[in-house]
Amino acid sequence: MNRKTISGHESDLPAGAKFHEGIAAGWAQGYTGGSFGRRRACFRALLDRNVEPGKAWLDLGCGSGVLTSELMLRGATVVAVDGSPGMLREAQAGMADEHGSVVTWLQSDVQSLPQLRNAEFDGVLCSSVMEYLENPDAALREAARLLRPGGKLIVSMPPKGSVVRMAQKSVRSASRLFGGNKFPYLAVSRFEVDPGHLRRNR
Ligand SMILES: C[S@@+](CC[C@H](N)C(=O)[O-])C[C@H]1O[C@@H](n2cnc3c(N)ncnc32)[C@H](O)[C@@H]1O
C-alpha cells in the first residue's frame, strides 16, 4: 500500500481537520446504518454512473476512506487527501490489501495542494468537506485545476433549509444555554447551499 506522509501536529491542522481528528476512530462505523448508511447508498448509485475502471480520481477530504473504497471497487486509481492524520490512519487500517497498489494517501489541506502540482484527474470527489473550510472557493479552484477537461466533479454540501439540520441547531442552541455542547460539528460546519439557487444557475 502506498503510504504517504501521515504526520502533522494538531496545532497546525486546518480547523475542520482538527475537529475530525477527535472523532476519527468511530467515523467508518457510522456508515453501517441510519442516515450515513443512506448517504453511502446514494453515493454508490452516483459512483456507479460516473466512475469507470482505470480512471484516476481524487478524493478530497477522504476521511476514513469509506468512499475511497467505493471508488476503488469501481476500478479507479485514487489519490486520497485529508488534513487529519487520524482519519488517514483509520482509512489505511480499514483498507483491504488488494487495493493497496491503486491508492495514494496524502495529508494536506485541500485548500492548497502544491504536492499535486503536475497531477491530472478524470474525477474529483469531495463529500461533506466544503462546509468545514475557511475558503471553499480555494478548494474548488484546486479541484478545477486538477480536473482534466471534461472531467467529473462530485461535491456534496448540506442543503439550506434541511429540517434535520435546523432541528439540530435548535437543540444545540438550547444545550449551549445550559453549558452543553450537543451536535458539536455545527461549530465547524459553516456553509450550506440553497439547492434552488444551484438549479436556477446551472
Ligand atoms: C465529514 S468528514 C467527510 C469524510 C468523507 N469525505 C466522507 O464523506 O465520509 C470531513 C473530512 O474533511 C476533512 N477536512 C476538513 N477540513 C479539511 C481541510 N481544510 N483540508 C483537508 N481535509 C479537511 C476532515 O479531516 C474530515 O476527514
CA atoms within 13 Å, Cβ hemisphere of 142: 23
**140-184: pLDDT as tens digits:** 999 999 999 999 999 999 999 999 999 999 999 999 999 999 999
Local confidence band at 101 (pLDDT 50, 70, 90 cut-offs): low
Residues 117 and 195 in one domain: no
Residues 169 and 75 in one domain: no
Which of 126-130, 160-164, 165-169, 195-199 is the least confident region?
Answer: 195-199
Local confidence band at 36 (pLDDT 50, 70, 90 cut-offs): confident
Residues 184 and 84 in one domain: no
Q: Does any domain span residue 2?
A: no
Q: Which residue has the higher pLDDT, 17 or 28?
A: 17
**38-65: pLDDT as tens digits:** 999 999 999 999 999 999 999 999 999 9
Could you tell me if the CB of 91 is within 6 A of ligand 1?
no
% of the chain surpassing 90 pLDDT:
76
Q: Kindly give the number of the ligand 1 atom that is closest to the alpha carbon of 87.
A: 27
Q: Which of 12-16, 29-33, 134-138 has the highest mean pLDDT?
A: 134-138
* Backbone φ, ψ for residue 63 (5° rounding): 60, -135
Q: Does any domain span residue 17?
A: yes
Boundaries of domain holding 170: 160-202
Distances (CA, A) of 40 to 30, 33, 81, 145, 167: 10, 9, 19, 27, 23
Residues 144 and 196 in one domain: no
Q: Does any domain span residue 148?
A: yes
Q: Does any domain span residue 184?
A: yes
Taking each continuous run of H as one helix and of E as one strand, the counts in the chain are 8, 5
Residue 154: beta bridge partners?
A: 125
Residues 122 and 197 in one domain: no
Residues 113 and 144 in one domain: yes
Instruction: Return the CATH number at 89.
Output: 3.40.50.150
| Ordered alpha helix ranges (H), the chain | 15-21, 24-27, 34-50, 66-73, 85-94, 136-146, 163-177, 195-200
Question: Which amino acid residue places its CA nearest to atom 10 of ligand 1?
Answer: 129
Residues 57 and 95 in one domain: yes
Q: How many domains are there within the chain?
A: 2
Q: Does any domain span residue 141?
A: yes
Q: Kindly give the number of the ligand 1 atom that is closest to the alpha carbon of 111.
A: 19
Residues 78 and 128 in one domain: yes
Question: Which of 27, 82, 108 has the most ligand 1 atoms within 8 A of CB, as the residue to mutate?
Answer: 82
Q: Does any domain span residue 4?
A: no
pLDDT of residue 98: 60
pLDDT of residue 17: 96
Residues 96 and 193 in one domain: no
pLDDT of residue 5: 46
Q: Does any domain span residue 111?
A: yes
Residues 167 and 152 in one domain: no
Q: Kindly give the number of the ligand 1 atom that is closest to the alpha carbon of 185.
A: 1
Residues 169 and 95 in one domain: no
Residues 124 and 70 in one domain: yes
pLDDT of residue 9: 55
Q: Which amino acid is at 139?
A: A
Q: Does any domain span residue 94?
A: yes
